[in-house]
Structure 1
Amino acid sequence: MRRFLRWCLKWTWRFALLVLLLLVGLTLPLRWIDPSTSAYMTLDEWRTDRVVRQEWVPYDHISDTLKLAVIAAEDQKFPHHFGFDLEQIRQAIDTHLDGGRLRGASTITQQLARNLYLWPGQNWLRKGFEAALAVPLELFVPKHRLLEIYLNIAEFDDGIYGAEAAARHYFGKPASLITRDEAALLAAVLPAPGRLEADRPSEFLRDRQLWIIDQMENLGRAWVPQPQPKDSN
């Protein structure tokens, strides 16, 4: 029995080390390397046999207004949490236990992990992977970089990924020139891209747009993460 337990302990440590190395390998390079695609984009192309539209642009080529709108809509504690909004998670669990529908409560970091590496759907297995990836993402990748990657791979319509492709698709302009109202409208479609369409906004979408604008005014531009200045030395 002792021999068996030692064998189990040895392989448990080896498996844990392998998982740790895998998580580091998946997340640390994102600090410097722009991902060329994502799991969601790959699945989209495979399922629909179409080429998705996406154009990577640097962080400073996306308007701060759009950055703020997405934070206001999706994760208002993003600049300050470590990957998880514990209050939102508690509320989601309470709602589910009371018989309500299991809802997301995912932060921007968790959504980034899901979009980049995982698959659509609502189940505990995926949520577990999402949480495991969120920790090293927050540990290794600065906030502004997390937001930059998220805004470049998020789905805004069927086959439309990233802020640049969405801005040109809906408004015929680059993401750097998005206005406040346009930014709020783009952010409003994120929970259900394709079903919610910024070029044909429903009453629900207009109401959500107005709510996002109100939240943006409450938060202020200081809520947008900025790159740390490089040391002149």
Structure 2
Amino acid sequence: MRKNKSKRAIFLYIFDWVIKNIARLYILILILSLLYLSTNDVNIQKLPLIIIFSLLILKTFALFSLNWVNPPTSAFMLRVTNSFSDKSKKRIQYTWIKYDDISPFMPIVVILSEDYQFPNHSGFNWREILRAFQLNRSSHSLIGGSSISQQTVKNLFLYPSKTLFRKTMEAYLTLILEAVLSKKRILEIYLNIVQFSPDIFGVESASLHFFKKSAQSLTVEESCLLATVMPNPYIYEVHSPSHYMRERQELILSYLNKAISEQSLEHFLSSSHFSCVEEKWFARKIF
């Protein structure tokens, strides 16, 4: 059994590595193709191809620019803003915070609760996708298998409806996102744009609103509670956690306890970040 799991893990690692590098090769081919078409005589037959390649490259560079540019808004934020009536004075709450200024617990509980393969995959958690596919075949309720990278793309550029077009665009943009951004930057963007209530976006805004303090000071329990809301911020409420949310909070805490005891957090965090989480965790258990 262990040998089979080990072989499967190696296969998935190689597969993800190939997928990510194919995406990078695709970007290179796009650029070289546009250069080739542009350096030769441009005629009316080449014009559609030049336009298509130019748009695809522009989209790629727009995603690449996210390495330095913090998104001022997102598709989900615009959707919520447009849903407010003219009489309503309510506005979304959105405050950007640097990754290093967020409580060290928050990134790890999000990874453990939403996408434990995030540090290693190429944008798609194939195990969860397969699991969701199998469960959806035998159930009337739809279960998602989206990775953090896919959710980042969906929140930034797309819409929540589960259509074939949205899923296709999500897959394409996820491949490009993973090819041009680091895992840390993807997680930083996700934590800053993810929705915590109908009008609250980002971990800093959520922390200020619900706990009256910056996300830098979030405790592990508060981080876990916020993570329980993320799957459906229109149903779950931080101020009045349901029984399910409390159970989910305890489950995430158990995941974290196991990860720390097995020292598997090093797969998710830098050594300094890991030491900080470990130190705060043991201090919490003592006091």
* TM-score, normalization by structure 2: 0.71
Once the 2 structures are TM-superposed, how far is the Cα of residue 99 of structure 1 from its aligned partner? 4.2
Give the conservation status (yes or no) of the 8 Å contact 1:79–1:225.
no
Structure 1 residues 22 and 65: CA distance shift in structure 2, 3 A:
same
Aligned-pair Cα RMSD in Å? 2.1
2:215 is matched with: 175
**Bigger relative CO (Cα 8 Å, ≥ 6 apart):** 1
CA–CA separation in structure 1 for the residues paired with 2:112 and 2:206: 18
2:76 to 23, 33, 40: 40
Structure 1 residues 42 and 139: CA distance shift in structure 2, 3 A:
same
CA–CA separation in structure 1 for the residues paired with 2:69 and 2:235: 32
The DSSP-based 3-state class of the residue aligned with 2:235 is: coil
CA–CA separation in structure 1 for the residues paired with 2:116 and 2:52: 33
1:86 and 2:126 aligned: yes
CA–CA separation in structure 2 for the residues paired with 1:12 and 1:188: 47
1:95 and 2:131 aligned: no
1:69 and 2:113 aligned: no
2:18 is matched with: none
Letter in 1 for 2:119: P
2:235 is matched with: 195
Larger radius of gyration: 2
- Deviations, residues 87-120 of structure 1 (Å, cap 9, x unaligned): 1111222222334333220000000000000011
The DSSP-based 3-state class of the residue aligned with 2:196 is: strand
Letter in 2 for 1:33: V
1:124 to 156, 164, 181: 164
2:183 is matched with: 143
CA–CA separation in structure 2 for the residues paired with 1:27 and 1:16: 17
CA–CA separation in structure 2 for the residues paired with 1:218 and 1:109: 24
1:222 is matched with: 266
Give 5+ residue unaligned stretches, structure 1.
Answer: 1-8, 228-233
Once the 2 structures are TM-superposed, how far is the Cα of residue 136 of structure 1 from its aligned partner? 1.1
The DSSP-based 3-state class of the residue aligned with 1:57 is: coil
Structure 1 residues 145 and 97: CA distance shift in structure 2, 3 A:
same
Q: How many residues align?
A: 219
1:230 is matched with: none
1:20 is matched with: 56
Give 5+ residue unaligned stretches, structure 2.
Answer: 1-44, 272-287
2:100 is matched with: 60
2:193 to 123, 138, 153: 153
The DSSP-based 3-state class of the residue aligned with 1:156 is: strand
Structure 1 residues 217 and 45: CA distance shift in structure 2, 3 A:
same
Structure 1 residues 135 and 167: CA distance shift in structure 2, 3 A:
same
Give the conservation status (yes or no) of the 8 Å contact 1:68–1:223.
no
Letter in 2 for 1:30: L
Greater share of helix residues, 1 or 2? Answer: 2
CA–CA separation in structure 1 for the residues paired with 2:267 and 2:140: 32
2:66 to 20, 30, 33: 30
Once the 2 structures are TM-superposed, how far is the Cα of residue 52 of structure 1 from its aligned partner? 0.3
2:153 to 113, 136, 139: 113
CA–CA separation in structure 2 for the residues paired with 1:159 and 1:185: 18
* TM-score, normalization by structure 1: 0.87
